[in-house]
Structure 1
């Protein structure tokens, strides 16, 4: 079982009641599931099952009864519903893909943002702890918040919240919510990886401040935290790694 893959992680995490409601509905991509989820939500994301760093992601959204918009990187195409599946299938080829409900993420200057949450445990402990949080903001015109792909921005959670569409929400309440969901998720997903001690969760806050688990990273990059002027969070992660 290739437990590093997103589909296996999703199916495993969906078994647990306390985190199930924080997972955007996801299916293996085919003609039927695309039609089903876009009919249900009007806006979906297609992503490779084993993809990393925002590669190969498509957004498909309904324009009207006969037309879809397909958005990849900073480019958009408009086409009829009938042609859309064949176009996507041609681009994807034989690669295993997922289709996932797109969460309407909170924004900064109309650009979507998500939250990278690092959760760790010490070598002789089963207690998981959130050690670092940073916000990634997509570059102009991009659907992915991956900084390298979209020329996006990194900022602290507090600063991002102040600038965001959620600025009127309580900082402490949102932070507590994110930490609680991330720790519960680490406790559950770690059952797939018994000796693993660090996870990076990409989490989204929607326009009402609800926390969603968009992706689980077993080997999260540290570059996000090195880019912050204040290196406190980076040093905390590294200290936990050595403990």
Structure 2
């Protein structure tokens, strides 16, 4: 049961929402239903639907409002335009199938040269140790036209500071401090429920105004992206912790 909950995006979102210090970093989210879809589209011009359990950007659906009741639906390798919610709901139901999805406010991600960016943070601790440490962090710069920034979907890797500079974020020092704070505090919150977990991987966002957001937390994060950084010291540190905790 615990292993299932570790992978459940909605459950982890609820744990973080219960922390007053972290709620401000979380995009508004609901479980998917036609009624909640309508509610979110009344609030925001763009929303994201993602599988409650899933990884690699697979299954993510972006819905954007156009003019005169037109909706643009965008997934990996699929774009479609429909008119009216009576046409939108059956399309979304077909794309989601029988899987559970959640709906989130679509964060207006900062961009580098028109390409979306987000950030992968790895936080680890030794077995029996209560102190969490950020052992790795890098930016992911998505492919042009893609709604996701996953490395499996062709994104490139850059250092956090360099990506923020390229995205013209104003107060880089505060933004980097918030990214660190969010990843460490989230790990402390999760440790109350998942006591044996020794690693978390976070996909974090910075919007066009420099505000930091939590996209999602991964209990079995991929760390191969760190090999593409010129300095591979973070990759070695992550692997050392993983070996120590086996």
TM-score by length of 1: 0.94
Instruction: Specify the alignment match of 2:163 in structure 1.
Output: 160
Instruction: Specify the alignment match of 2:38 in structure 1.
Output: 35
Q: Per-residue displacement from partner, 1:168-188 (whole Å, max 9, x unpaired)?
A: x23322211110111111111
Q: Per-residue displacement from partner, 1:54-78 (whole Å, max 9, x unpaired)?
A: 0011100111241111111254211
Q: Are residue 171 (structure 1) and residue 172 (structure 2) matched?
A: yes
Q: Per-residue displacement from partner, 1:147-168 (whole Å, max 9, x unpaired)?
A: 222x2211111221221132xx
- Cα distance in 2 between the residues matched to 1:50 and 1:88: 17
Instruction: Specify the alignment match of 1:237 in structure 2.
Output: 238
Instruction: Specify the alignment match of 2:13 in structure 1.
Output: 10
SS in 2 for 1:18: coil
- Cα distance in 1 between the residues matched to 2:145 and 2:236: 33
SS in 1 for 2:35: helix
Q: Are residue 104 (structure 1) and residue 108 (structure 2) matched?
A: yes
Instruction: Specify the alignment match of 2:119 in structure 1.
Output: 115
SS in 2 for 1:122: coil
Instruction: Specify the alignment match of 1:145 in structure 2.
Output: 149
SS in 2 for 1:76: strand
Length, aligned pairs only:
240
Which structure 1 residue ranges, 5 or more long, are not aligned?
none
Instruction: Specify the alignment match of 1:91 in structure 2.
Output: 95
Q: Per-residue displacement from partner, 1:97-142 (whole Å, max 9, x unpaired)?
A: 1111110011101111001011111223211121111001110110
- Cα distance in 1 between the residues matched to 2:68 and 2:111: 27
